[in-house]
Chain A
């Protein structure tokens, strides 16, 4: 059982005191990365929900490695992360969204003399009322309006400071603390709330608070390390800097009384109302929301970054700017390394595409990037169906997924780290812009040496759309793909060019299992067989610049079919051609199956002739795959009449089918079983069932043997919509380290959910073994393992068994038993 693909950027990371390690919140754990190699060293495991804050305890000696973590499970934990060892747990029973501990920053020497109580300020969501509303016997009209609150927590005595609620708000906010530890603040819609930490803390100390107003929604704030300056960013990209805030309120206790403290109202430029600040200046460079604000440690510079992915360094006194452009995705966090002995300050910056960059500061160059799995990128409306941009390299355990900046990322599922990136489309990516160029498809050949991508440029009011098919070849083992061939508008049709370009979009790309042959099918109604020409020229190393060319074009019309060699492509009445929606090669490459909407056409790829037509399904087929080396073909279709159907090649007829909304199909290369990821239907009855049985899980993985409609095993999963499924073939020795006991499996099933978090497990392994592993984490659990529900149901349903025995030549109708019926039957 391997899990990975978690977000590295859910919360701000922290440097260790010697700046050699970086603590990153990854889901329920805190992963510790080495800053010199960028690899994960160890992880702190123990929280039951997402970790939201990690704070390293500063210490004079660099060997001390203590940190505090806070999590949504309502606990604060104290770790020695060099070992790593859990030292202390404070349970406050409220989900913590953010935590600051001012005393860690403030007076470290003082703490050693006298054993203070350590206080933390936490931003929690008050769920106490909402957890069990039934008990109160009163119907709740709406959720509690102000559920987020800022509380004070005594860490030494492990309890919340009673009755101290500093602020209440609708949603819990992130608390920002000043580097000196004297102030902390939150942003509350259009306001900033800033508190001064009292010199001597006690539980019931009254805290002084000031409020700064602005007209826009604030997104981030930062304190100056030495002076009383606070900077805040808003959604429009403005940066506001209040100088000498809190002169009136905080001054008395500060001892920083100036002569001209009481400046008159007129001399406070830019300050609204009666806000307690001396001046407020506004800088505006960012075109969109500011996400990152941070003062440099000497206070001379201000770093800002935002949605557009440019890091801006402002000279605080003059307002002069320096830029680090084209980071490629929105910046989220920015942290300084604490190590002053380094001549160059390296600092760290996280961007929204799940990458952490380590920067060398004066020169602003990127030293190292720790990249997690790329998050699913947004696709413009109406084009979602076209995008199936993920491919698995079954033998190497890699997944290729497309990213927002027109790259394909190769991510090792076994090692949980990014391997490489390939720039598919040479365009400058602006994170804020509308997506107009999409990488719609990526396909890998079985040995992983060839890749094909399809990209779509969306037309502007009908002009300038473009579909582009690219073939890539990897030079050596390190997955460095280089572009081999570009084909513009591969399925452009002479009569269709003025019409909607989506129609000519590529629906599927499939590689031949052994030869250098690929097939692409298009919605325009034809498919093309491509051949790589260096197949014949491999002896001659000089002829490396060979490429792919079209070998044959095929289309399917009602009742008759045409295929021509490429030189004499001829389109006869294209409007009557059926859209080709999916394509697959059989395991030995002797049969090419292409789905023509609801029919499956079988072709001989060598002779370019139509062998057979089988069908038909209820809705257009979305995916086709052959089940290993067996004679079965799995077809899935979506829409109002979803269907999973298994077709026998020897009988040329349907062997069995279900009415299931299938999200993904995975077939192993040399096994006769396949796995599907099915979405649970959204009917009220099932919803009810969902609550009790599936606990919010919206999908199931069903493992079938192709000959038998009864699933072998099933697992329920979360975030199944947009998920992926694949079998990985693993070298048993390489996986030994991950599987602690029992003999390592030959194949693993990989499930990746909509957020690209994934889990690898042995589908044929012992359920009990899995159970023990799975129970540890709740995030992506598939804990309801084994034959829970489904197998038992199927065993008792005679209709399905009958279905299997029907030896039919006629296109058989899919099972009319929808899920509702099954569940009904189960409940009664």
Chain B
């Protein structure tokens, strides 16, 4: 009772000099999602020739992926991200490739209009599908069909092929411009969409008699890529700066338009977020890449961009492995950014497998006074939960500058902290000196070497907004007070030159910022009036 009534006293406490608190970000710097996407360890595969037009993954493990660049098609292993093999029997630039669903065959198109089907293992061309008169930009094996391929070319015709006979089963007319992309439905072997530069996406069904499109949606911009979402009822189209989500079952209704890219979106693919088992069940995301060098992850359930990543080149193509472990992005300058997630459970699984045999527990030796450890026993004992813990009062840690300040050796404290690395501490000590009315006295007492230390600190940090309030004023005072000494010394003069440079640079920055402010403020006024 008596203790409760006792007012808490602050007597005898000493407070070390502390830097000002920094504002904490209100939002977490990393959402779980961005953490997931940045956990792909990106590795650059350089030295491919010209831009990577297309990347496609094999559906079966070990998930090889094929990157089309120049007149060759390179197969990579998705485990090691190393080159597996190269298919180079092309006469022209390879534009697109597609694995069959069993991963045994690979269809590839080139700009000469030829489509070839290769055996993945032997790399020999098995079939040549020649019918397109213009460059072919899109070829794909349907997911559920091993016998046919779909292709589209610059002649505006979409062709449905019977691979074994090398015959065109259906010519689908309707596009008025180049057909650049397409995708086969994940739920139906007979349906697919194609996107064209005439701004439209057409949904085709080979069962329909008159070979007309079943549905058509207008994206508004030349379409670069189109894809079905896993349900088969939604499709995503990329064209211009936007990615649009369409409801195909609902009659081609536009659901959302994602417009966070600054340049043309070149490719989209389906990504998976979360692991199979766990509280966050598997969720699908749209990965889109654009010429602005950004890859964005779009959550099409919440209609939100959840992650964004910058790459140092215009991005041309993106693909995500079916097992969710590898993400590959092709750029226009011939390098591939392949990201691979570390597999966590592999190691532990192996250990479990090998450690079936009995493991001998190391027997605990009885401690005797002859052992050294006998005398140390109990020292590292952890308290159990029911134990009453007497907390030792925390020892206050005083820095070197704190000790000097305590002894009122102000100049030494300032010099000590200046020769340290931490600018926050320097400013904190300066503020404390201001509160003691000793800062200017300290400055006048500094010898030349220490003055140089101070000047170089000022030069580095006086333009940082957090410190500038104090340091700008101080700098002025220092220059006023120590002008003579500075004139006398060449080293100090060079410091002053640096200082001048950084101040000039800051002024330039401020001017341009003010220009921007001038531009923005009328807009804000207008927005506020509304």
Contact = CB atoms under 8 A, between A and B. Distances in A.
Given A426-B18, A457-B435, A549 B26 contact: yes
B431 A568 contact: no
A427 to B, nearest CB: 6
Contacts of A163: none
B230 interface: no
Contact of A466 (B7, B431, B437, B440): B431
Nearest to A468: B20
- Report, as a range, how many residues of chain B touch the other chain: 35 or more
B7 A568 contact: no
A564 B528 contact: yes
B437 A436 contact: yes
A36 B520 CA distance: 68
Interface string A423-443: 100111000011011000000
Contacts of A296: none
Contact of B11 (A326, A419, A462, A572): A326
A489 B469 contact: yes
B13 interface: yes
A405 B11 CA distance: 10
Given A328-B10, A405-B10, A464-B430, A39 B439 contact: no
Contacts of B469: 466, 489, 492, 497
Contacts, number: 102
A480 B6 CA distance: 13
A689 interface: no
A328 B6 contact: no
B436 A461 contact: no
Contacts of B435: 427, 436-437, 457, 464
A549 B12 CA distance: 34
A38 B5 contact: yes
A486 B21 contact: yes
B437 A366 contact: no
Nearest to A364: B12
A300 interface: no
A492 B473 CA distance: 16
Interface string B400-436: 0000000000000000000000000000001110111
A421 B8 contact: yes
What secondary structure prevails in chain B residues at the interface with A? helix
A436 B9 contact: no
A325 B10 CA distance: 12
A460 B9 contact: no
A407 B9 CA distance: 10
A421 B24 CA distance: 27
A371 B8 CA distance: 11
B14 interface: yes
A37 interface: yes
B9 A421 contact: yes
Contacts of A549: 26
Nearest to A434: B437
A463 B521 contact: no
Contacts of B430: 464
A463 B470 contact: yes
B437 A460 contact: yes
A764 interface: no
Contacts of A568: 520, 524
Contact of A419 (B7, B9, B26, B439): B7
B62 to A, nearest CB: 42
Interface string B505-520: 0000000000001001
A328 B12 CA distance: 8
B2 interface: yes
B477 interface: yes
What secondary structure prevails in chain A residues at the interface with B? loop
B474 interface: yes
Contact of A462 (B14, B24, B436, B473): B473
Interface string A322-340: 0011111000000000000
Interface in B453-475: 469-470, 472-474
B12 A326 contact: yes
A378 interface: no
B371 interface: no
Contacts of A465: 434
Contacts of B2: 36-38
Interface string A488-517: 110010000110000000000000000000
Contacts of B431: 457, 464, 466
A54 B453 CA distance: 61
Contact of B5 (A39, A357, A488, A498): A39
Contacts of A38: 2, 5-6
B372 interface: no
A369 interface: yes
B15 A418 contact: no
Nearest to B402: A428
B528 A460 contact: no
A773 interface: no
A369 B434 CA distance: 33
B473 A463 contact: yes
Given A324-B12, A489-B469, A371 B436 contact: no
Given A464-B474, A488-B20, A369 B7 contact: yes
Contact of B440 (A37, A460, A486, A564): A460
A324 B11 CA distance: 10
Contacts of A488: 20
B436 A368 contact: no
A420 interface: yes
A146 interface: no
Interface in B470-523: 470, 472-474, 477, 517, 520-521
B444 to A, nearest CB: 12
Contacts of A36: 2
A427 B8 contact: no
B12 A325 contact: yes
A460 B15 contact: no
A433 B432 CA distance: 13
A459 interface: yes
A366 B12 contact: yes
A286 to B, nearest CB: 15
A554 to B, nearest CB: 13
B13 A326 contact: yes
Interface in A103-141: none
A497 B521 CA distance: 21
A433 to B, nearest CB: 7
A460 B439 contact: yes
A456 B80 CA distance: 62
B11 A369 contact: yes
Interface string B342-370: 00000000000000000000000000000
Contacts of A533: 26
Contact of A463 (B8, B15, B20, B434): B434
B434 A326 contact: no
A90 B473 CA distance: 67
B15 A427 contact: yes
A436 B434 CA distance: 8
Contacts of A405: 10
A466 B20 CA distance: 11
A437 to B, nearest CB: 6
Contacts of A327: 11-12
B10 A421 contact: yes
21 contacts: A36-B2, A326-B14, A328-B11, A357-B11, A366-B12, A369-B11, A420-B7, A428-B15, A434-B437, A436-B435, A436-B437, A457-B434, A460-B437, A463-B474, A464-B430, A464-B431, A464-B473, A464-B474, A466-B431, A533-B26, A570-B517
Given A461-B477, A466-B469, 8 more contacts: A328-B10, A418-B7, A421-B7, A460-B434, A463-B470, A466-B431, A498-B472, A549-B26
7 residue pairs, one from A and one from B, having the closest CB atoms: A463-B473, A464-B434, A426-B15, A436-B435, A460-B434, A418-B7, A37-B2
Interface of A: 36-39, 324-328, 357, 366, 368-369, 371, 405, 407, 418-421, 423, 426-428, 433-434, 436-437, 457, 459-466, 478, 480, 486, 488-489, 492, 497-498, 533, 545, 549, 564, 568, 570, 572
